[in-house]
Amino acid sequence: MTDFSFDIVGFDLDGTLVDSSGDLAAAVNAMLASDGRRTLTVPEVVAMTGGGVARLVRLALAATGGATDEAATRLQAVMLASYEANIAVLTRPYPGAVAAIEALRARGVRVAIVTNKLAALSEKLLADLALRDLFDTVIGGDTMGPGKQKPDPAPIQEMVRRMGGGRAAFVGDTMFDVTAAKAAGVPVVVVDFGRESVEGFGADAVIDHFDALIATLEGLGA
């Protein structure tokens, strides 16, 4: 037990801990260009992100001429190769994110990443940004097996199991995060960094800057 309101705090990665929108959009657009398709804007790609790479590729193809199974399989490989080669060019942590996580760790809180990004790419991104040591564990979209990514509660339940149990909270940015956390019985804070309205998500709290995270979690655990 910590003297903080939670023993375990999990974070989503894309759109929550880091702004990865520029590098994701570049990889999606490299994929689309390779197939002779029009490219997408960064906000268009952001709106397609959060449900894993297969969904992102399908939505990007559907928006640019159509998504057959054959094209999705072939072009997902192109997207992933491009993304892996340029995963940390533009991607940076959101303001205050590192300080907030260090403050949690200083209180003895165990801190995890639960993302729908593939585990190997998540590990690479965190290592390239020198953030990996902030986290006790990293659970990716392929860690729990097919179909067992957020909004399924399995990866959040796995986080609690790996951390040895305790009072857990989750911090995310999309409905996938809120649905998964609620199904796992874990209070959820949503970050609203001005990209879309999150009021309808049904989160326990909304913050617009990481400076508010500690006090918000204290309020939820009180």
The span from the CA of 186 to the CA of 160, in Å, is: 10
Active-site option among 7, 12, 142, 204:
12
Tell me whether residue 5 or residue 122 sits nearer to Mg ion (CB atom). 122
Does residue 173 touch Mg ion according to CB under 5 A?
yes
Q: Which does 117 bind (CB under 5 to 8 A by kind): Mg ion, ligand PGA, none?
A: ligand PGA
Cβ atoms of 10 and 74 within 8 Å: the answer is no
Tell me whether residue 50 or residue 187 sits nearer to Mg ion (CB atom). 50
Tell me how many residues contact Mg ion (CB under 5 A).
5
Q: Which does 53 bind (CB under 5 to 8 A by kind): Mg ion, ligand PGA, none?
A: ligand PGA
**Which residues form the interface with ligand PGA (CB under 6 A)?**
12-15, 49-53, 56, 115-117, 141
Q: Which residues have C-beta within 8 Å of that of residue 162, sequence separation ≥ 6?
A: 112, 136, 137, 139
CB 34 → ligand PGA: shortest distance, Å? 20
* Binders of Mg ion in range 41-100 (CB under 5 A): 50
The span from the CA of 140 to the CA of 13, in Å, is: 10
Look at residues 166, 210, 163 and name the one whose alpha carbon lies nearest to residue 189. Answer: 210
Active site residue 12: yes
Does residue 158 touch Mg ion according to CB under 5 A?
no
Amino acid at position 127, single letter: A
Q: Which does 153 bind (CB under 5 to 8 A by kind): Mg ion, ligand PGA, none?
A: none
CB 37 → Mg ion: shortest distance, Å? 25
CB 150 → ligand PGA: shortest distance, Å? 6
Does residue 142 touch Mg ion according to CB under 5 A?
no
Strands (E) across the chain are located at 8-11, 18-19, 92-93, 110-114, 137-139, 168-172, 188-191, 205-207
The span from the CA of 108 to the CA of 170, in Å, is: 16
Structure tokens belonging to residue 106: 């200083």
Strands (E) across 82-191 are located at 92-93, 110-114, 137-139, 168-172, 188-191
Q: Which does 116 bind (CB under 5 to 8 A by kind): Mg ion, ligand PGA, none?
A: ligand PGA
Q: Among all residues, which ones are annotated catalytic?
A: 12
- Which residues make up the interface to Mg ion (CB under 5 A)? 12, 14-15, 50, 173
